[in-house]
Structure 1
């Protein structure tokens, strides 16, 4: 009867998830299996599973303090000039607006716990990450809408946008370094082959006067590894930054990895495992602490790796302008200059360019509130280890999440409260796991108000639990 109640609750929640898309998201419970390996590579050992096979999962996260990102049309991904949508009465347009888009598709992957002390996994992911930082929201709202009537702050906007799409094929290994009665420590790592699809970056400094006209442009640079450029028109529309496919059409390559460790304190009152029982099948800790450094590495794009039908030059184009004020209707001329019709400065030729992954530090603490192994509270902190000042480098937004949780081997539910530093935004969501399905959303308020979702995930997997005896 109790299990039927769980099933009914999940079915009632599922239609809300269908409004968004799919995604595997951020999973903190003890039965996340291969999804937990993404968060910390040490989680593969004693994962509660002999095998955990991911079929397909999708994760989308879009923290923003201005505008809306059109992620549903994959052919209009962010490229520095499009994808951000602004309303005419955007109240929080400032000189330091920030937005990020993180999309992560996990393709068929498998975790294998081949012994009590050792585990391995294979992960295949297709990822896209873009960050807009330091944008003058009013200026870009006016650029994207000729009828924009909002105010534009009078100052210099030092902005940058880096967008990168790549696939990664990872081999994970983790082992139990300490497996005592009260203390448990596991260490793990994942090495990845990185196959780059495409990258682009726009950065520079634009100064406006009291009428919203541009008075100077300093070191406005643009680089796109595909040598494609959005057409110069008043709406800054484009057919697409890239055409997404699951083929093996790669233009860059590199090596990367993750590394992490997990410590568990297992006092006598929670460490109740029978002599014939497997400790890997039950939760025995009172407190679990973990740390991981993710997305170490970079992808190099060079003419040797590019398709023969493409231009073999990778160009970083730069413009510097100071003179008569330019109205926003004149700005496409500047972008046309960047497109190669450059009479102001010659393009800076680059035979190759290296895009760094959004390297970040993840710290997690999980506490068992009641000793019946069902009620937990989790704290997770994410800190970027890259800077937005670094060229051709994505920088992950900092985030702190507090999530109370109820879990059993077949079912878990948690309510995450997340705070994003760069956008000063708070998100409240709901995450559910029932056997083969993991799903959640950190934007329940957006559903209630009719706004677009900025976080959603969904995953389908085949779990094979460890034997109890």
Structure 2
């Protein structure tokens, strides 16, 4: 039974929705400051902030179609959280993770038309497909003292971890009563930190 819980815990850690953007709901705000450069470098032009220094920020999205629980239960006893959760085991469950860490970053509004930003960023994407939820849902779990078989079929999973150092410049090109246009450019140095891939084919 313990092995079953550990497997579920591990899978939930690597669960998520792979989104093209991070910090959803925040990047489009007029006061998002240096975070706006993550989705579009032009966002920092005409910023409402003259200067912003970001020490650290994190955005994590996770999802899966195997297990679900009420958010209010997540702040209770972890041991009973999964006992009360609703499970949807299938032969092809999926899960994913999108983690975005914004490290030290600076936004400087030079004047009404020009802005500059420098930022550091770390990102982790994980995606797993065709996980056999029936294995996770096995009644009574596994007896760790005995041999047992896990049939996962066509399982595939991939994880990528990398770091970014970016410099962005943005400028307001047109601003009158009828039209507003701005543009931005980001130059990045990207450093890959790790990649892991798992694939199994049903014989």
How far did 1:36 drift? 1.7
From 189, 193, 196, the equivalent of 1:197 is 193
2:19 equivalent in structure 1: none
Q: Structure 2 regions of 5+ residues with no counterpart?
A: 1-21, 69-81, 144-150
How far did 1:193 drift? 1.0
CA contact (8 A) 2:67 2:88 kept: no
Equivalent positions of 1:170-185 (< 5 A) are: 170-185=166-181
How far did 1:125 drift? 1.1
Count of residue correspondences: 158
Equivalent positions of 1:154-303 (< 5 A) are: 157-206=153-202, 216=203
Equivalent positions of 1:432-451 (< 5 A) are: none
Distance 1:191 1:204, change over 3 A: farther
Distance in 2 (CA, whole Å) between partners of 1:141 and 1:197 is: 34
2:55 equivalent in structure 1: 55
CA contact (8 A) 2:128 2:155 kept: yes
1:65 equivalent in structure 2: 65
Distance 1:90 1:181, change over 3 A: closer
RMSD between superposed Cα atoms in Å: 2.8
How far did 1:122 drift? 0.7
How far did 1:52 drift? 1.3
SS in 2 for 1:47: coil
Distance in 1 (CA, whole Å) between partners of 2:152 and 2:123 is: 33
Decide which structure has the larger Cα Rg and report it. Answer: 1
Equivalent positions of 1:373-384 (< 5 A) are: none
From 68, 87, 91, the equivalent of 2:87 is 91
Distance 1:111 1:203, change over 3 A: same
2:39 equivalent in structure 1: 39
1:135 equivalent in structure 2: 131
Distance 1:141 1:171, change over 3 A: farther
How far did 1:164 drift? 1.4
Residues 37-58 of structure 1, C-alpha deviations (whole Å, 9 max, x = no match): 2122210101111111101212
Distance in 2 (CA, whole Å) between partners of 1:182 and 1:96 is: 52
SS in 2 for 1:62: strand
SS in 1 for 2:56: strand
Distance 1:127 1:120, change over 3 A: same
1:30 equivalent in structure 2: 30
2:103 equivalent in structure 1: 107
Distance in 2 (CA, whole Å) between partners of 1:59 and 1:67 is: 22
Q: Structure 1 regions of 5+ residues with no counterpart?
A: 1-23, 69-85, 148-154, 207-215, 217-469
How far did 1:140 drift? 5.2
SS in 1 for 2:110: strand
Distance 1:141 1:200, change over 3 A: farther
Distance in 2 (CA, whole Å) between partners of 1:136 and 1:171 is: 44
Distance 1:39 1:138, change over 3 A: same
Question: Scaled by the length of structure 1, what TM-score is found?
Answer: 0.31
SS in 1 for 2:64: coil
Q: Which structure carries more relative contact order (alpha carbon 8 Å, separation 6+)? A: 2
Which protein is richer in helix relative to its size?
2
2:118 equivalent in structure 1: 122
